[in-house]
Amino acid sequence: MDSRRNRDRLSTLPEHILVPIISNLPFEDAVRTSVLSKPWKNLYHGTTNVSFKESEFVKRTVSSSEESSNEARAAFVRYVVNWASRFSGDVIQSFELRLSKPFGFEAEIKHLIEFAVSKQVKTLVLDLSELSCDASNQARLAAPFQLPECVYNQTTIESLKLSACGFDPSRLANPCAFKSVCFGYTELGRIMTLLSKSPLLESLTVRNCWNVNLESITGDQNRLRELVFENCVFATEYTLLDLPNIKVFKYIGSFHYFQFLAVNRRMEEAYLAYGAETGDEIGQFFCDVLYDLLSARKLTVCPFLIKAIKDSDDPVRLKAPMETRHLVINTGLVPDEFVGIRLMINSCPELEILTLQMFPSVPVARYTPGFNPMSYWAYQISHKCLKKTLKVVQVRNFTGSMYELILLRYLIRSARVLERVDLYLPVGASESEKSSVRAIISTLGDEGVASSKVLRIRQLTGRINC
């Protein structure tokens, strides 16, 4: 009764107040308000945050034929065009369209983009990537949809996200208002032109793109706060980066050489995940990159980096202490990684949180570590963070393997101010697996083993944000 009374009170508000209210809802929820009562029926046609996703309108099943899927896709496009024709407002804050297999709908897509630009849109999201194709196949598809001229002439878009769209920065008529740009499945041979015409750019994300002709990011783009590369093919052998204001740097993919000329002294996060590469200098290169990113408060490193840095000039420590407070190590916890793990712990004297993200170990040629893996962590070597700052150890996908237990016992024995050891079981762990871990925990917490008097060891399930 109360909810109905409150709804009726809302219905008495004028339209110019209701429309901004529902514009703060996810678009799907804004559409649902049309069934509340007659006054609400068409209000969502004035919402200023619009999102049309094929996946939410076209329901696919295993038995769906190509013909039925095409008919559903055509109905979806007709719905979007009809909504645009009935839009009652003057301005759109954000417009999102996600449509796979756009061929045959080019005219409609162009019309919708022109509609959004005419409404002075600030955030434009256009994702035309194939739902059924993986990253390696997207580039081999037919010629991508080309953006209409209005996108290159507009001056209002602040956030632009394009996937599987042709984009030519040389056609930009004026310096852009872009603050955030994200590309996916796109050829970026002229990315340097984009940077030169985007003086306000603060965030650049490039995923699954090819021919990325990025020679440098210089002081001219000194507003850049976030830079992300994921699974890209570069057209240059190396990239110079001058990033005095960078907060977040992430690189995921095959080896690419970055030379950092300047980096913000108070970075929030660095994320490094490289594919396996070979070379005599690769370990030293990684150490140089870590030195350049030493101010990152949160640092994530991959198994390949951990293995490679042991072959650097100094296998004990980096050439300068990291300022990292939260270290995430993606690891298979095999003996080939032990030296690199210790090196990272030793190089983070102010470390407060250590997260071990367990991955299945990758089969490699027989490796002889030169030490006994069973006794490696038994040596009484206590690093500065273990004496003064490390408070939390997290293990994700914990299974209770032999090397997991050996490393945990070392950390519990050596970390004097350790408050928590959180063991996250794999998602979907059985009751027997949970019982086994409970038994393991009881041995880890044996009285007299832990250096810290306030230590708690917990068994947890589900995912954590790291």
Number of CB atoms found within 10 A of residue 379's CB: 10
According to the model, what pLDDT value does residue 107 have? 96
pLDDT per position as a tens digit, 114-169: 999 999 999 999 999 985 554 455 444 556 899 999 999 999 999 999 999 999 99
For the ranges 282-291, 345-354, 361-370, the one whose mean pLDDT is highest: 345-354
The alpha-helical segments, DSSP class H, found in 54-184 are: 54-57, 66-85, 106-118, 135-138, 149-153
According to the model, what pLDDT value does residue 221 have? 62
Strand partners, 51: 96
CA–CA dist 289, 222 (Å, integer): 20
Question: Nearest CA to 221 among 239, 205, 237, 245?
Answer: 245
- Residue 407: is its pLDDT beyond 50? yes
pLDDT per position as a tens digit, 100-110: 889 899 999 99
* Percentage of residues of the chain with pLDDT beyond 90: 57
Strand partners, 273: 252
According to the model, what pLDDT value does residue 57 have? 78
Full set of structural domains in the chain with CATH: 272-362+374-465 (3.80.10)
- For 82, the 3-state DSSP assignment is helix
The helix (H) or strand (E) run that includes residue 284 is: helix 282-292
For the ranges 274-288, 416-430, 435-449, the one whose mean pLDDT is highest: 416-430
Beta strands in 108-232 (DSSP E): 123-127, 145-146, 159-163, 165-166, 180-184, 203-207, 216-217, 226-230
The pTM (predicted TM-score) of the whole model is 0.87
- Top pLDDT among 24 and 159 is at 159
- Residue 209: is its pLDDT beyond 80? yes
Q: How confident is the model at residue 1 (pLDDT cuts 50, 70, 90)?
A: very low
According to the model, what pLDDT value does residue 62 have? 44
CA–CA dist 31, 41 (Å, integer): 9
Q: What is the mean pLDDT of residues 396-411?
A: 93
Please state whether beta strands 165-166 and 203-207 pair in parallel, antiparallel, or not at all (unpaired): unpaired
Number of CB atoms found within 10 A of residue 388's CB: 13
According to the model, what pLDDT value does residue 8 have? 57
According to the model, what pLDDT value does residue 35 have? 42
Among 24-28, 247-251, 299-303, 349-353, which stretch is predicted with the lowest mean pLDDT?
Answer: 24-28
Looking at residue 171, the DSSP 8-state letter turns out to be G
- Top pLDDT among 376 and 466 is at 376
pLDDT per position as a tens digit, 267-306: 999 999 998 765 567 888 899 999 999 999 999 999 999 9
